[in-house]
Amino acid sequence: MNLKLLVKGGHVVDPSTGLDQICDVLVDNGRIAAVGDALPAPEEHCTVLDATGLVVAPGLVDLHIHLREPGFEDKETIATGCAAAARGGVTTVVAMPNTRPATDCPEMVARVKEKAALTGVTVYPAAAVTVGQKGEALTDFQALWQAGVPALTDDGVPIQNLALLRQAMQQARTLGLPILDHCEDKDLVRNYAVNEGVVSQQLGIPGRPAIAEELQVMRDVMLSKDTGARVHICHISTAGTVDIIRRAKAEGISVTCETCPQYFTLIEEEILRQGAMARVNPPLRTASDRDAILEGLKDGTIDAIVTDHAPHCAWEKAQPLEQAPSGMVGLETSLGLALTYLYHAGHMSLMDVINRMSTAPAALLRLPKGTLQVGQHADLVIFHPDEVWTVDRDAFASKGRNTPFHGFQLQGKVKYTISMGQIIYQED
């Protein structure tokens, strides 16, 4: 049976066309069938959703999440991670390869996709740049490209060997595949828990300096210029990085970047309040870094907002700051945080926020997503832009409860998530 869905009277925001008005959206057979005023409901098998007072936008596209399966199912599974995505209005995710085994061959890509196909969320596995993410030998880019990966990355275990990285960029360029790079110099950051600054001083522990990120970003910019490869810098966190990327873009170098909600909402002092719960790589930085990240979002230097959703077990995060793993979950709070801190705070329009969370990231990896144009996949997020709610980590669909935003009041709440024409989440 071919189910139809008519979303009536919502405020439709589509950055791919610039549409920003109250109208209806008709979905048929998993695709957008029509967008317009007062669309009549088809007579048969049509669900009608009243979206009065709600925003209707393309489903969110999160280019950076960790699903943990296979290998770390106690932290998250493909099923629970995708349920978290659905709850957050996210219909498409790019899953990082730092699983066990790593996603470094077509068989592993197929395995992740097969499991993900049962979830309703579209999962694109990103493949490792090096075999087992060991930083020694390149994976078979051609075979991975044929297996449909949208990008290559060693996120979680960033590549340090420059000869290997340059060779990777040369090969990736011939296939048109971008490299997503987690930029932190291993020797400068070791396994340190926090930013190098007032908090590391106060705690009397070594920290991860901003320069550890910026040196690698500069390196990547120069290698991108040298090789012509498309390089996308993961989760940027410092003012210096924003500056480097802004200048590189002005020079026409094909570098793009993303940041996460934690870098435009929190600063390093959060560690003093929340300890390991606020530990993440790269670390929370200073207020001036946060302000520069905001500027970078406003002026378009930062292309995408992603979560770096990184679930860990409660017992792992309960360890002392220096032993606990880095990372925070993000899928179920990203839209609320972006609406609260970017839109309601007056920094960005609704259109701009949706663009940075859906249309722009889809375009970066050339995914057929992030649009409500007729004929395209019917992936939608429907949210109340003004409703205030309180983050409750115990209500998460994710297995990960490691959020520093527990108890935060956010403004903007997901009501429905629709993927390929199916309602995959509906608020209780």
**Smallest distance, ligand DOR to C-beta of residue 296, A:** 19
Among 243, 222, 220, residue whose Cα is nearest residue 233: 220
**Smallest distance, Zn ion to C-beta of residue 22, A:** 40
Residue in this structure with the two tokens 């609704």, named with its chain if needed: 350
If binding is defined by CB under 6 A, does position 385 make contact with ligand DOR? no
Residue 240's φ and ψ, nearest 5 degrees, are: -60, -40
If binding is defined by CB under 6 A, does position 155 make contact with ligand DOR? yes
Cα radius of gyration rounded to whole Å, the chain: 21
Part in contact with Zn ion (CB under 5 A); list of ranges 82-90, 227-235, 265-273, 297-305: 227-235
Active site residues: 308
**Residues in 236-295 at the binding interface with ligand DOR, rule: CB under 6 A:** 280-281
C-alpha span between 381 and 366 (Å, rounded) = 20
If binding is defined by CB under 5 A, does position 66 make contact with Zn ion? no
Q: Can you say whether residue 235 is alpha, beta or left, with left for phi > 0 and alpha for psi between -120 and 50 degrees?
A: left
Distance from the first to the final alpha carbon of the chain: 26
Part in contact with ligand DOR (CB under 6 A); list of ranges 1-9, 187-195, 324-332, 341-349: 324-332
Alpha-helical regions (H) of 11-77: none
C-alpha span between 313 and 69 (Å, rounded) = 14
Query: How many Cα atoms occupy the beta-carbon half-sphere of 163 within 13 Å?
Result: 2
Do the strands 179-181 and 152-153 form a parallel or antiparallel pair, or are they unpaired?
parallel
If binding is defined by CB under 6 A, does position 360 make contact with ligand DOR? no
If binding is defined by CB under 5 A, does position 309 make contact with Zn ion? no
Amino acid at 8: K
C-alpha span between 416 and 425 (Å, rounded) = 5
User: By three-state DSSP, how is residue 384 classified?
Assistant: strand
Binding residue for ligand DOR (CB under 6 A) from 10, 156, 261, 421? Answer: 156
If binding is defined by CB under 5 A, does position 155 make contact with Zn ion? yes
Sketch the per residue contact string, 4 through 43, with Zn ion: x for CB under 5 A, - otherwise. ----------------------------------------
Part in contact with ligand DOR (CB under 6 A); list of ranges 9-17, 108-116, 191-199, 320-328: 320-328
Neighbour tally for 37: CB within 10 Å: 9
**Smallest distance, ligand DOR to C-beta of residue 307, A:** 11
Please identify, using beta-carbon distances, which residue of 178 and 325 lies nearer to ligand DOR: 325
Binding residue for Zn ion (CB under 5 A) from 68, 75, 87, 182? Answer: 182
Residue 337's φ and ψ, nearest 5 degrees, are: -70, -45
Instruction: Give the count of residues interacting with ligand DOR (CB under 6 A).
Output: 12
Binding residue for ligand DOR (CB under 6 A) from 8, 11, 66, 377? Answer: 66
**Residues in touch with Zn ion (CB under 5 A):** 155, 182, 234
Q: Which residues bind ligand DOR (CB under 6 A)?
A: 66, 98, 155-156, 182, 280-281, 308, 310, 325-327
